[in-house]
Amino acid sequence: MHASIVTLFPELFEPFLRATVLGRAVQKGLLRVDLTDMRAFGQGRHRIVDDRPFGGGPGMVLMAEPVVRAVEAAREAHGTEVRTIYLSPQGRRFDQSIASELAAAPDGFILLCGRYEGIDERALDLLALEERSLGDYVLSGGEAAALAVLDATARLVPGVLGDDRSAPEDSFSNAQGLLDHPHYTRPASWRDVPVPEILLSGNHAAIAAWRHEVALERTRTRRPDLLAPGSAYNPEPTRPSLTDTPTQGSAGADKEA
């Protein structure tokens, strides 16, 4: 998997790319992450990348030129079909389906991290970006979101996790898009609380049936939206394709090419 991050703070990514699942994937050659420092494309001796907003108001705005030049530089290391994603609270929600798509994207993907009040809209229009949000809250910058996207995608690449059977059994990823079942480990009784007896039975078919039942029940109670027809994880015939043109009012902020 080949990802590029365009950011004003490349140093934030380096510890993560040395440690954790991401670090191991880089070491094994399963993951390549290029860091593009937006500051290198800033203007003048001080490499200025931001300015005050036209129309007044608080904060600063990232200027179009450094952003566009930084993304164009990052694109040079990818194939022509590279997906470029602007992490933004105004985008469609990033989820497991998109993580799967990105993990398998043949030309990789670029994550653009905003800062301050955001990026001059003309740069976003010119670059024909997809916008993806981590959730309905505002972060100070796109870096924390980019790390989440990187982590969620890298662990789907075959060979990255210790056991390739893990990821397809996780929440959202299993055949029915359910939440995962609960997990238990030794000791069999802890503070007088035993693990469910079925798990000690050695009857694999009965264990699988129990796990499915519990996963279904916890999905019903915690995330009934996942079971609704048309949910991103519910394999109903009516399920909209992720590549469908967004319908009016449902994804107006998405700028997917």
- Note if 50 is an active site residue: no
Question: Max CA-CA distance within the chain?
Answer: 70
Instruction: Report DSSP state, residue 203.
Output: -
Residue 50 pairs with which residues in a beta bridge?
A: 62
SS3 label, residue 193: strand
Residue with nearest beta carbon to ligand SAM: 114
Q: According to the binding rule CB under 6 A, does residue 82 interact with ligand SAM? A: no
Region of 34-42, 98-106, 108-116, 241-249 interacting with ligand SAM (CB under 6 A): 108-116
Under rule CB under 6 A, which residues in 120-139 are in contact with ligand SAM? 133-135, 137-139
By CB under 6 A, is residue 55 in contact with ligand SAM? no
254 is catalytic: no
Residue 10 found at the interface with ligand SAM (CB under 6 A): no
Is 89 an interacting residue with respect to ligand SAM (CB under 6 A)?
yes
- Token pair belonging to 197: 């007896």
> Looking at beta carbons only, is 66 or 118 nearer to ligand SAM?
118
- Do the Cβ atoms of 7 and 74 come closer than 8 Å? no
Q: How far apart are CA 65 and CA 41, in angstroms?
A: 8
The residue from 57, 80, 140, 183 that contacts ligand SAM (CB under 6 A) is: 140
Of 83, 132, 155, 211, which one is the catalytic site residue?
155
Determine contact, residues 129/120, Cβ cutoff 8 Å: no
Catalytic residue among 89, 92, 131, 132: 89
Residue placing its CB nearer to ligand SAM in the complex, 86 or 233 = 86
Strands 32-37 and 61-62: unpaired
Compute the chain's Rg from CA coordinates: 21
Is residue 118 near ligand SAM by the rule CB under 6 A? yes
Rule CB under 6 A: is residue 87 a binding residue for ligand SAM? yes
What single letter denotes the amino acid at residue 149? V
| φ, ψ of residue 173 in degrees (nearest 5) | -100, -20
- 155 has catalytic annotation: yes
Residue 136 a catalytic site member? no
The closest alpha carbon to 9, from 137, 161, 144, belongs to 144
Least separation, in Å, of the C-beta of 144 and ligand SAM? 8
Residues that bind ligand SAM (CB under 6 A): 87-90, 113-115, 117-118, 133-135, 137-142, 145
